[in-house]
């Protein structure tokens, strides 16, 4: 058994206690006061004293080996909870009404504390520095990652690793998933105000019809995947919100609708946006309505650096033993602001998936009020993160 898995096993019970404490006291994005205080206290209790809070509720700490010489690798966990009322029935369920750690960031936080403890214990053997980033507000746009990059948390960093848990079938518990290249989608919103004049239903030739224009726009967006984007690439687009009209015999004066676009590359994303604006102009021209488009750029797509992915594939079996690495043949279809640490800096990164099983008979996925995982997965997650950080510093990856 590797030293990392051995150490992770020896602190596992403590890490479970920390996870349950955080799970009982979830805090939504930007309000992680208790959580960040707990992180600082725990780090201090381990003897890690280089601790900073670049924003009010984030925590960044450093474990310095080799007298500060050598490279720096950063490990990131997100710490925020979601506005969901927990329905898991777990004995350590949320004690805060309407707030729940339904994205497993309680696990991420507890695991990164565990990895920090392991690496601090081994600091005399580290040929470089490990920076621990406990990020606020991942699940609330615009996300905390951008803030932290602007505050300089990536300054001097050579590579970044992250890990997101995922409820899975129980036989996968503790198996790390990775894939080189595109790994999560970008997430953008497009809002449309379609403005007419309103009119009597008996005189359609006298008033432009925003509802018809909305229907045309919804239809034309079906061309995004079928005609605009290369069939080998992916765009995910739906119109998920629509409001308009007054009565069955009145021509509406306006419609407001909102859609959601996701892509794995910035080229596809930009091409889709160009078409969305072009389609709006075309519908404006044929409908006689004014069509205003508001583009809200959300998270970038995550791209797993090829060299880092190779390193992960090489060392995870050494750290965790055989059978604990899965190379996914497909990327994930969610979004993560983990992407910004690389897209805003050019520093390579890799995001892994910690397959985490589930409690009870049914599998409920992330962001569900009944979502659960097997805590045992944390043992493998924290060992992998600690071991990979040390492997990066020791290798010439």
- Rule CB under 5 A: which residues touch Zn ion? 103, 139
Structure tokens at 394: 């020791």
Q: Considering the complex, state which of residue 257 and residue 385 has its C-beta at the smaller distance from Zn ion.
A: 385
Q: Considering the complex, state which of residue 103 and residue 110 has its C-beta at the smaller distance from Zn ion.
A: 103
Q: Considering the complex, state which of residue 139 and residue 359 has its C-beta at the smaller distance from Zn ion.
A: 139
Q: Residue number with the shortest CB distance to Zn ion?
A: 103
Closest CA to 234 of 145, 279, 301: 301
Q: Considering the complex, state which of residue 335 and residue 343 has its C-beta at the smaller distance from Zn ion.
A: 335
In whole angstroms, how close is the CB of 188 to Zn ion at the nearest point? 17
In whole angstroms, how close is the CB of 193 to Zn ion at the nearest point? 29
Structure tokens at 183: 């790994």
In whole angstroms, how close is the CB of 139 to Zn ion at the nearest point? 4
Active-site residues, by number, are: 299, 375
CB atoms within 10 A of CB 83: 13
d(CA 231, CA 30): 39
Q: Considering the complex, state which of residue 104 and residue 196 has its C-beta at the smaller distance from Zn ion.
A: 104
Strand partners, 261: 188, 237
DSSP secondary structure code for residue 81 in this structure: B
Closest CA to 358 of 345, 371, 340: 371
> In terms of DSSP bridges, do strands 290-296 and 303-304 run parallel, antiparallel, or are they unpaired?
unpaired
Q: Considering the complex, state which of residue 282 and residue 369 has its C-beta at the smaller distance from Zn ion.
A: 369
Closest CA to 296 of 255, 368, 241, 347: 241
What three-state secondary structure class fits 188? Answer: strand
In whole angstroms, how close is the CB of 373 to Zn ion at the nearest point? 12
Q: Considering the complex, state which of residue 23 and residue 120 has its C-beta at the smaller distance from Zn ion.
A: 23
In whole angstroms, how close is the CB of 369 to Zn ion at the nearest point? 13
In whole angstroms, how close is the CB of 138 to Zn ion at the nearest point? 6
Contact status, residue 313 vs residue 304, Cβ threshold 8 Å: no
- Name all contacts of 331-334 with Cβ < 8 Å and 24+ positions apart: 331/179, 331/181, 331/182, 331/183, 331/184, 331/185, 331/264, 332/183, 332/184, 332/185, 333/184, 333/185, 333/236, 333/262, 334/184, 334/185, 334/366
Taking each continuous run of H as one helix and of E as one strand, the counts in the chain are 10, 16
d(CA 349, CA 309): 9
Contact status, residue 295 vs residue 190, Cβ threshold 8 Å: yes
d(CA 105, CA 337): 13
d(CA 387, CA 381): 10
Q: Which residues contact 215 (CB under 8 A, 6 or more apart)?
A: none
In whole angstroms, how close is the CB of 1 to Zn ion at the nearest point? 30
> In terms of DSSP bridges, do strands 349-355 and 176-178 run parallel, antiparallel, or are they unpaired?
antiparallel
In whole angstroms, how close is the CB of 283 to Zn ion at the nearest point? 34
Q: Considering the complex, state which of residue 99 and residue 103 has its C-beta at the smaller distance from Zn ion.
A: 103
């Amino acid at each position: 058994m590797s030293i990392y898995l051995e150490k992770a096993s020896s602190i596992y019970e403590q890490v479970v206690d920390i996870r349950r404490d955080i799970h009982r006291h979830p805090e939504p994005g930007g309000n992680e006061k208790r959580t960040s205080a707990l992180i600082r206290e725990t780090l201090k209790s381990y003897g890690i004293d280089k601790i900073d809070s670049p924003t009010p509720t984030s925590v960044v700490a450093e474990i310095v080996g080799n007298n500060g010489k050598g490279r720096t690798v950063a490990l990131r966990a997100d710490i925020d909870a979601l506005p969901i009322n927990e329905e898991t029935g777990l004995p350590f369920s949320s004690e805060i009404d309407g707030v729940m750690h339904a994205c497993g960031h309680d696990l991420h936080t507890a695991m990164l504390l565990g990895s920090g403890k392991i690496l601090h214990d081994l600091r005399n053997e580290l040929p470089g520095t490990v920076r621990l980033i406990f990020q606020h507000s991942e699940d609330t746009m615009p996300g905390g990652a951008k803030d932290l990059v602007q505050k300089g948390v990536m300054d001097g960093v050579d590579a970044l690793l992250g890990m997101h848990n995922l409820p899975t079938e129980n036989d996968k518990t503790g198996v790390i998933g990775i894939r080189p290249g595109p790994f999560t989608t970008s997430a953008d919103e497009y809002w449309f105000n379609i403005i007419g004049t309103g009119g009597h239903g008996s005189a359609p030739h006298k008033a432009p019809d925003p509802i018809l224009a909305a229907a045309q726009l919804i239809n034309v967006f079906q061309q995004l995947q079928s005609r605009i984007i290369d069939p080998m690439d992916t765009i995910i687009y739906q119109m998920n919100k629509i409001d308009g009209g007054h009565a069955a015999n009145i021509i509406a004066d306006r419609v407001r609708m909102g859609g959601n676009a996701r892509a794995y590359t910035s080229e596809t994303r930009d091409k889709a946006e160009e078409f969305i604006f072009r389609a709006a102009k075309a519908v404006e021209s044929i409908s006689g309505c004014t069509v205003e488009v508001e583009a809200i750029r959300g998270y970038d797509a995550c791209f797993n650096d090829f060299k880092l992915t190779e390193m992960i594939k090489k060392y995870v079996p050494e750290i965790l033993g055989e059978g604990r690495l899965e190379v996914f043949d497909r990327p994930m279809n969610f979004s993560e602001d983990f992407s910004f640490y690389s897209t805003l800096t050019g520093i390579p990164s890799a995001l892994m998936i910690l397959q985490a099983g589930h409690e009870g008979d049914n599998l409920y996925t992330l962001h569900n009020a009944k979502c659960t995982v097997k805590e045992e997965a944390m043992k493998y997650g924290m060992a992998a993160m600690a071991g990979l950080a040390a492997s990066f510093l020791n290798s010439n990856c």
